[in-house]
Structure 1
């Protein structure tokens, strides 16, 4: 039995539908990749900010003289980025509570925070 000429291959409509399906899948993959890159950038920023916060906290706690109560802000460059470090020292009985908040120089929202207690009379 011979086939009719219309049964020999894909029609133009079938090819266009298949192309549209593959195009939508491709767009979805590109959006997924974009989201992954944004998430990676956020995680990297938080990880670096946490390192900066921990370093600042260790410098304050390990000093020979306990930090003075109050708030101070400073800028620092780490890993090729500029960071804003805000340190808050508050009395807590016979201890001092030291809080460090680190944010990117371009963003006021802290990306990392670290806290510690140090004896008020000695380190």
Structure 2
């Protein structure tokens, strides 16, 4: 399997991403909590371009003792991405779908050597 040179690791800032074409296969490389993660740019729901989705902290909904909710809050420790097609939400560190634990993003192999990032789709 072919390995592709993506470029300098420092071109992907904390909370940022870089989506690249690897000979017809798109891969998104994300930096979360200092670590790089690479995912195929295909949502497992309907194959939408997941890596172009909105990035944000995980939404949590605090529930009162009476079962009501009045606001949304965010868990800054869990960075998520939302598919632009149908709104499926995935954890960028684990690839797990927030609403459907059986669905997850497909990882791409990633390595960093001498400050350069390489992926193998």
**TM-score, length-scaled by structure 1:** 0.31
More helix by share: 1
TM-score of the superposed pair, with normalisation by structure 2: 0.31
Q: Which structure has the highest strand share of the two?
A: 2
